[in-house]
Structure formats: C-alpha cells, structure tokens
Amino acid sequence: MSHTYKEERTERTKWFLEDRFGMFIHWGLYAIPARGEWVRSVEQISIEDYQVYFDQFNPARYDPRAWAKAAKAAGMKYAVLTAKHHDGFCLFDSKLTDYKSTNTQAGRDLVREFVEAFRAEGLKVGLYYSLIDWYHPNFPAYGDRIHPMRENEAYKRDPSKFGAYLDYMHGQVRELLTDYGKLDIMWFDFSYGDLKGEAWRANELMEMIRSLQPHIIVDNRLEASGEEGGSIYKKDPSFFSGDFASPEQIIPPSGLTDEDGNPIPWEACITLNNNWGYASSDHSYKSARTVIRKLVECVSKNGNLLLNVGPDATGVIPQQSLEILEEVGQWLRLNGESIYGCGQADLPKPDWGRYTRRGDKLYAHLFEESIGPVNLAELAGRIKQARLLSDGSEIFISRPWNAVMYPNDAFINLARPEHFSYPLPDDRNTVVELTLN
Ligand code: GLC
C-alpha cells in the first residue's frame, strides 16, 4: 500500500486516538432467548424455530436518548451499535429485506433513532455490520464452520449463488452509508476460513465506503486475521486492511505495531460481563475499578477501549452495567485529562501502576500504595511540577533520606513529611499529573 494510505489513515484516525473510550452495543432478537448473540449457532436453531423471537420483538422501553446519556456520563466519546449481527436481523429499515425491526411489533428504525440520539448528546456514531448472515438463503450453511444449519444436509447451498449474497451485503452497506447521515465508524465482523478479503469483494466494498463517506474509519476484519495477507499488521497493508486493529476480549500485552514496529491504531473490544448480547444468567461483571485500570492500560499502550453493553429484550441496558458505567464516569470527570488525547509514555511500566502521556504532561496512575516516597525510575531532574489531578493539590517532589541511594530516580509523595507512607486518595487509581522539564 502506498505511503499516502498510511498518511490518510493517520488523518482519519486523529479523533479516534483523542477520544480513546467508546460504547459497544450488541442488541437484537437474541436478547429474548437471553443466552448471548450466538445462540442460533450454539444451539443450532433453525430459522423457523427462531422466528418466534422476530414475532415477539417489541422493545417498548427502547430509549436511545437514555442510552446516549449513560454513555456520555460514563465519559464515552463514541458508540457502535449492531445494525445487523450474524443472525441476519436488521435493526434498520433496509429496502433489501423483510427481516428487519420495522417489520416487527417495534415498527421502528432502531438504527436511525440510535444515531440521532447519540449525535444529539455529542457522541460520534458507528455501526457494526456482520459480514456473516445466517438468515440469507445464499450464505454458506451446510458444511460451514459456524452456521446454525452446518450439520443439516438439507442446507447444502450452491456456491455460485454466494455472489447474490455479496450483492445484498454491499447493498445494505450502501444503505447504511447513504441513508443515516454522517457515520464515524464502520465496524465489520468477521472473516474466517476462505471468507476473507476479496471473497467479500472487499476492494469494491472499500471503494464504495471511501467514496460515500471518505472520513469514516473502518476496522480490520474484512482482511484475514493475524499475520496473513495484507493485514493491518503488514508493512504493506491492503486497501481493505482497515484503519484500526480490533483485539477482542484481550488487551495486547505490549500494544500493537506493524511488522516494521510502527504503532498502528487499535481498539480493544471488551464485554462488561462475558457476553456481547444480553445474557440474563451472566452476572460475571467486571468492577468499575477493573474497567478504569483497563482503560488506562489501553491508553498506556496507544490503544482505545470499546466497552460493550447488551440491552435486554425491552430495550433497557442492564442495571449492573449502568452502575459500573456511572462509577467509571465519575472517575473520568476528575481524571479524564490523563486519558483523552493521551498515549504511551515510552517509559518502563512502573511497579505501582502505569504511565500515560500527552506532550509535557506525564500522568502517573497509582494503582497501589508505595512504602515511603513514590519512585519515578530514571526521571531524576525531569519533573518540574507535580499535582494530584483530581483536585489540583500540590504533590511533593524530593528524594528524602530513605531514598538518597537512587540518584537517577525522581520521587514524589502525597504529603509531608515526605519519607512517610500514605494511603492513596483513590484506591482504584490515583493520578498524579507530572509536568516535565
Ligand atoms: C466476535 C463474536 C461476535 C461479536 C464480536 C465483537 O466476533 O463472534 O458475536 O459481535 O466478537 O467483537
């Protein structure tokens, strides 16, 4: 890929690397069985047996403005909603299918209401679109790796008709990029086996995307995953390799770069419990403390966090999710300067937590207390001023008698006398803003 492609990618993703924190929303018919969004595949449910959920779908409490306010209060800057997941159900009024929310009892274009509500709250909007479609008659079924009817010979499909599915898929992407105003993210999911790259007619698809909404950023899942082909990790990524990598349910141990070691934009997508779609029995929620620390970890490695909620069949985000988001938002209201617009500090990870950096501001995220003064390894003489970010109060820079043996290091402490040990004002994460010389 030409050098300009990477320059264009850098330009397109500027806002993304500033915003750092987004909401992922997985919602659809699968909220009724409430066993996660893969329920059709896992339980090999036929379309006929899944139809009951289409017939019943009536999210009377769907209030996208409330969702948007919760995301904004959580400190999230953008949101991505599933417009169509693997089950093929469309949350938008597509002219290319009857399998859509406007034909259910809901009678609403859920995507349109989502983009309007989140824009009204000042958030950027993205749409997730599944390349996989377990409803479409021309999508591979019998013998496929994951299709609900993969073991049912009656669903042997004629491969020559896959092009008809691609026409449908490209047509729907065109609808989303034409009929819903300015979108900020197109989030495709996912390539597997031979279904990758040009098997999706990805060049043609990306040409269309770039012509309809040139500013939009696209994830990397049109391409083969990992090191294959022209993935975003290669020195010469393909035209459809996307603008950001999308590690899932993991935070890359040391950030993400291409094979030349150049940082690439990335966003870790992570569930609040262990399911993307609503799962009523899944109460394994991450604490707000964990979310705060993992957001810091992503930013400390030049990445974003896309944190998922799975609204229930009535259209409501689960209360456990809302409570976690509210607490994260409280922390961000006091400490957001150490997240937004920040990135890697190019310093070794300290024992007590992590660093993030923006220009001459270095943020020390103290996850655990120190005995005596807090050690800033190798930073002797580099720190001009230190303040507790949450309240602006003075933090003391000195090397008291119990630290004199470390001349290359700087030390700070939260109070005086400075050789004492002090509890952290916020044991989830206390942020000290260091101004560098
Ligand atoms: C995986 C799952 C899919 C989910 C996606 C989110 O691809 O199959 O259900 O939407 O992860 O990244």
Is 347 a domain residue?
Answer: no
Residue ending a domain, among 276, 309, 338, is 338
- The dihedrals phi and psi of 150, each to the nearest 5 degrees, come to -60, -25
Residue 281's pLDDT is what?
Answer: 98
Residue 186's pLDDT is what?
Answer: 98
50 lines ligand 1 (CB under 6 A): no
Q: Are residues 254 and 279 in the same domain?
A: yes
Q: Are residues 103 and 219 in the same domain?
A: yes
> From the CA of 263, how far away is ligand 1's center (Å)?
24
| Closest Cα to atom 4 of ligand 1 | 276
Residue that has been written with the tokens 């206390």 in this structure: 430
Is 344 a domain residue?
Answer: no
Residue 11's pLDDT is what?
Answer: 96
187 lines ligand 1 (CB under 6 A): no
Range of the domain at 188: 3-338
In sequence order, which residues have a C-beta less than 8 Å from that of residue 297 and are 6 or more positions away?
Answer: 251, 354
| Closest Cα to atom 11 of ligand 1 | 248
Residue that has been written with the tokens 């030409």 in this structure: 2
20-44 pLDDT, tens digit per residue, is: 999 999 999 999 999 999 999 999 9
Is 345 a domain residue?
Answer: no
Residue 2's pLDDT is what?
Answer: 57
Q: Are residues 239 and 366 in the same domain?
A: no
If one residue of 41, 128, 189, 267 were mutated to test the ligand 1 pocket, choosing by the most ligand atoms within 8 A of its CB, it would be: 189
Q: Which whole-number Å values give the CA distances from 107 to 202, 246, 281, in the listed order?
A: 32, 33, 29
Measure the CA–CA gap between 109 and 409, rounded to whole angstroms: 58
> From the CA of 300, how far away is ligand 1's center (Å)?
25
Residue 219's pLDDT is what?
Answer: 98
Residue ending a domain, among 312, 338, 364, is 338
> From the CA of 191, how far away is ligand 1's center (Å)?
11
DSSP letters of 35-81?
B-TTHHHHTT--HHHHHHHHHH---TT--HHHHHHHHHHTT--EEEE
For ligand 1, what atom is nearest to the CA of residue 187?
Answer: 12
27 lines ligand 1 (CB under 6 A): no
Is 134 a domain residue?
Answer: yes
Going by C-alpha positions, the residue among 197, 245, 192 that lies closest to residue 219 is 245
- DSSP character for 417? S
Q: Are residues 385 and 242 in the same domain?
A: no
Number of domains in the chain: 2
Is 368 a domain residue?
Answer: yes
- DSSP character for 371? S
Spans in the chain with pLDDT lower than 50: none
Q: Which tokens is 437 given? A: 């010389």
Statement: the pTM of the whole predicted model exceeds 0.95:
yes
Going by C-alpha positions, the residue among 74, 72, 26 that lies closest to residue 324 is 74
For ligand 1, what atom is nearest to the CA of residue 24?
Answer: 6
For ligand 1, what atom is nearest to the CA of residue 130?
Answer: 10
Residue ending a domain, among 288, 307, 338, is 338
Q: Are residues 153 and 301 in the same domain?
A: yes
> From the CA of 189, how far away is ligand 1's center (Å)?
7
> From the CA of 377, how far away is ligand 1's center (Å)?
40
Q: Are residues 245 and 376 in the same domain?
A: no
Q: Are residues 324 and 365 in the same domain?
A: no
Is 430 a domain residue?
Answer: yes
Residue 104's pLDDT is what?
Answer: 98
Q: Are residues 127 and 36 in the same domain?
A: yes
Measure the CA–CA gap between 332 and 382, rounded to whole angstroms: 27
SS3 state at 248: strand
Is 98 a domain residue?
Answer: yes
HSE value, Cβ hemisphere, 13 Å, CA-based, for 146: 14
Residue 227's pLDDT is what?
Answer: 63
Residue 4's pLDDT is what?
Answer: 82
> From the CA of 304, how far away is ligand 1's center (Å)?
17
Measure the CA–CA gap between 410 and 415, rounded to whole angstroms: 16
37 lines ligand 1 (CB under 6 A): yes
266-271 and 303-309 beta bridge pairing: parallel
Residue 235's pLDDT is what?
Answer: 87
Measure the CA–CA gap between 371 and 388, rounded to whole angstroms: 18
Q: Are residues 282 and 427 in the same domain?
A: no
Q: Are residues 57 and 18 in the same domain?
A: yes
Q: Are residues 302 and 364 in the same domain?
A: no
SS3 state at 290: helix
217-218 and 185-189 beta bridge pairing: parallel
Q: Are residues 261 and 394 in the same domain?
A: no
For ligand 1, what atom is nearest to the CA of residue 246?
Answer: 12
